[in-house]
Structures are given as C-alpha cells and as structure tokens.
Amino acid sequence: MTTADLYLVVGLILIAFAVPSILGAFADRRAPRAAAIVLLIGGGLFALAMNQRPYTLQEIPGAFVRVVAYFVR
C-alpha cells in the first residue's frame, strides 16, 4: 500500500458520503456548508492521489483492496 492508495480511497469515500448530503441539503432548501467542505477535502485527496500516481479505472478496486488489507492485517 502506498500513500497514494490511501489518499485515493479516503478521497473517494468522502466524496461518496458528501454527494447524498449535498442533495439532502438542497432538498431541504438549506445551504450544504459541511457537505461542501467534505466534498472539497475528498476532491483534494483524490487530486493529490492522481497527481502522485495516475490511476486507471481498472486499478481503483485494487487500491481499495490494498488499503483494506493493510488495516485488517
């Protein structure tokens, strides 16, 4: 596992959690402040990971497996 793998996985997880929160905030007609911050952090981690090592779409599941395996061991 590399740090780029960790940045990629954490970034994608944060983005995945932020999107429903943003949609919920818009549905309730309120500003999605916290969700926008989480989305920016996740996007920044994703961009950092892609800058360190350009991943293809087929390599992303392998990065998830490597990160989970690192923490399970």
pLDDT in tens, 17-31: 999 999 999 999 999
CA torsion 19→26→35→37, rounded to 10°?
A: 110
pTM for the whole structure: 0.92
The model's confidence at residue 1, banded by pLDDT at 50, 70 and 90, is confident
Q: Measured in whole angstroms, how far is the alpha carbon of residue 16 from the centre of its chain?
A: 7
- Chain-centre distance for alpha carbon 26: 21
Q: In a 3-state reduction of DSSP, which class is residue 13?
A: helix
Residue pair 61/12 in contact by the 8 Å Cβ criterion: no
Res. 55 pLDDT band, cuts 50 70 90: very high
Tokens found for residue 69: 């395996």
